[in-house]
Amino acid sequence: MAYRGDKVYTGDEKIVIGFDIGTTMSAASYSHLSKGAYPVVEMFPTLALYDGSRCVACGEEALNYDSADDHEQMAKWFKLHMHPASLKDWTVNIPPLPNGISIQRVYQDIMDYMLKNTQSHFEKKVVNGASIWRRNRNSMTFIFAIPNAWGHSQQQTLRQAAIDAGLFPSSKADSLVRFVTEGEASVHFVSVYGSMRHWLSVGSTFGVVDAGGSTTDSTLYTCTQVSLGIVLKEASMSECVQAAGVNVDDVLGQVLQARLANSRFGDKDNIKAMVEEFEKKTKRLFNGNTNKNVIKFGGSRDTDRNLGILKGQISLSKEEVLATFKPVSENIVNSIRRLISSKRPQYLLLVGGFGESPYLRSELSRIFGSQGIEVITVEQPTKKAAAEGAVVWYLRNMVKTRIARETYGTDVNCIYNQLRHNERSDQVYTAPDGLTRISGVFDPWVEKGTPVEDGFTYTVGYLTTWPKEAHSKPSLGVKEVQVYKWEADTIPLWVLQKNRSLMPGFHYICTVQADLSHLVPHGLAVEKGPKGKYWKLDYQIAVTLPIGGAQLQARLQWYEKGILKQGPATTILEFN
């Protein structure tokens, strides 16, 4: 079943492609925006095989690649290398990247592979698909579904990888790429394939839990409109924990290594084969009650009854399998408890590949059902709900308000206040306008937990002064504004230490650069201060912050004769 829009599309013809590059599986969804076209989803294993610096296979081809070359290295679970430090709360054995291959390069190769396969599928399934693809190739919009906890740094890596893969040129990146959180993509998927319309009403609150490969993304929504189209707002800060399908696999590997140590079955290849077979069958069937769980990994001669191995099959007790699931499910449960701590929902909608686990479903139903919260699943397979949900999100974005997960801001030179700034009184200076100022103070733009409207832009007002030492106007260069984030609840006064280094706990996001040179003819004014005349320049920098998957963008603003003017600004990201 494919999504059918409830409104007639009246815009220009174009193709929209949604990419969900997961930890173990990736998917692409597309929609040909013309009369009567629907999204289609394809899935690929998230693998890339390298021979030195050369990518020899991706996806299904990498999985089935037959080679005896020991120099070839597989990039597997590479998404875990992208997770921010705040998300890495699990000690997972992350496979290293191939020697000399960057995470951006792996994403580039995966995107190239996915685009080629999407094109092939499109041309086979759509009437006149080849000509339609060629006609729309240069205007395609790409939407990437990303974990709730990913921010500007991860977006920039994906953006550059997409440019390098040829998805779009850098000159068109701002208009042809979008990012949506996996939680938000999932709620759009559920709105199409779930029973939401039967119980959703104005004021009702529900949670969406997307349990995937490496993360579980949970978001709480309140409905504010249904009659003229569903409108939702986030009801609390979204959650994202590194607890999902690969964590179960990783724990199983540790269990097997301990059990099979010092035996001929405890080598790397046998353990790998057992974990892969477990992931394909046992993990997907386990409901918490099966006493004997069998994993087939070898042939009829592979037997060791003392180890529970008979004819190439190893038996795991219920307790052993529970040991792989329990830490993960407990982490997910605790994340949901944090999500709903301030507002209790009526429903929890469970989606994602790991969300199809019978054990996880039963645990969530048992724990939250006792609190009067109904856990709902979707009949449609949800393994890659984010890929199709990303396209649905583009077509009919329902979420109009999101909650900031961090505090964003910059450093400013503010007017000195003896009570607040006394500890740095030795760094006070007097500006040309006669005001006493101090630097290094944190100016929060959006505070953690604040509701942010869709399309919200924060406008930063700047006043720059220079002594008027000559009759000629000063030459204006590039103004740089550093953007920082703070993840804790209590916001500190200072962002920079006395030596201008970053205070502990702050994270540098990017630098916004704005060229002020063209403000010279009309933006400068001469004022009179205590020490004589000085030049004054008033201007603004408007910043769209990376909240809810939005891209961090900026522009320069100023007034000419009472009329607001705008100019470009760029964001520069420094990788540490």
How high is the pLDDT of residue 70? 52
Q: What is the spatial distance between Cα 184 and Cα 180, in angstroms, rounded to a whole number?
A: 7
pLDDT in tens, 543-568: 888 787 777 888 888 887 788 888 87
Asked if pLDDT for residue 297 goes beyond 60, the answer is: yes
Work out the average pLDDT over 179-208.
Answer: 90
Per-residue pLDDT band at 35 (split at 50, 70, 90): low
* Residue 199 scores a pLDDT above 60: yes
pLDDT band at 85 (very low <50, low <70, confident <90, very high): confident
User: Distance between CA 424 and CA 437 in Å, rounded?
Assistant: 11
Whether 14-181 and 183-240+331-395 share one fold: the answer is yes
334 DSSP 8-state letter: H
CATH of domain 14-181: 3.30.420.40
Residue 197 has pLDDT above 90, yes or no: no
Mean predicted confidence (pLDDT) in 394-412:
92
Condensed to tens digits (0 to 9), the pLDDT of residues 122-176 reads: 898 888 999 999 999 999 999 999 999 998 889 999 999 999 999 999 989 888 9
Lowest-confidence range among 100-114, 357-371, 462-476? Answer: 462-476
pLDDT above 80: residue 63: no
DSSP assigned state of 79: G
Q: Measuring CA to CA, which residue among 400, 105, 80 is closest to residue 246?
A: 80
- Write down the pLDDT at residue 576: 41
Where exactly are the structural domains of the chain?
14-181, 183-240+331-395, 245-325, 407-572
Percent of the chain with pLDDT over 70: 90
pLDDT at position 365 over 70: yes
Give the H or E element holding residue 557: strand 553-560
Distance CA 33, CA 12 (A): 8
Percent of the chain scoring above 90 in pLDDT: 55
Q: Label residue 57 by pLDDT band (50, 70, 90).
A: confident
What is the per-residue pLDDT for 575?
44
Instruction: Region of 86 please: left (phi>0), alpha (psi -120 to 50) or beta.
Output: alpha
Write down the mean pLDDT value for the chain. Answer: 87
Check residue 177 and give its pLDDT.
Answer: 94
Structure tokens at 91: 């000690």
Q: What is the pLDDT of residue 22?
A: 87
pTM of the model: 0.86
Under 8 Å between Cβ of 383 and 184: no
Residue 376 makes CB contacts below 8 A (sequence gap 6+) with: 194, 195, 347, 348, 349, 350
What is the band of 402 on the pLDDT scale with cuts at 50, 70, 90? very high
Residue 99 makes CB contacts below 8 A (sequence gap 6+) with 73
Q: What is the distance between the alpha carbons of residues 370 and 61, in angstroms, rounded to a whole number?
A: 46
Is the pLDDT assigned to residue 27 strictly greater than 60?
yes
pLDDT 10s digits, 500-549: 999 999 999 888 888 888 776 667 888 998 888 888 888 888 988 878 77
pLDDT band at residue 11 using 50, 70 and 90 as cut-offs: confident
Mean pLDDT of all residues in 8-31: 85
DSSP-assigned letter for residue 281: I
Position 288 confidence tier, pLDDT thresholds 50, 70, 90: very high
Q: Quick check: 1 pLDDT over 60? A: no
Q: 428-475, pLDDT tens digit by residue? A: 999 999 999 999 999 999 999 999 998 888 898 888 888 887 666 777
pLDDT grade for 33, boundaries at 50, 70 and 90 = confident
pLDDT value of residue 195: 76
Residue 72 has pLDDT above 50, yes or no: yes
β-sheet bridge partners, residue 49: 57, 74
Q: Is the separation of the CB atoms in 554 and 571 below 8 Å?
A: yes
Residues listed for the chain: 576
pLDDT tens per residue, range 305-322: 999 999 999 999 999 999
Supply 211's token pair.
């349990």
Pick the more confident residue, 56 or 454: 454
CATH dotted code for 183-240+331-395: 3.30.420.40
Do residues 318 and 291 lie in contact, with contact meaning Cβ atoms separated by under 8 Å? Answer: yes
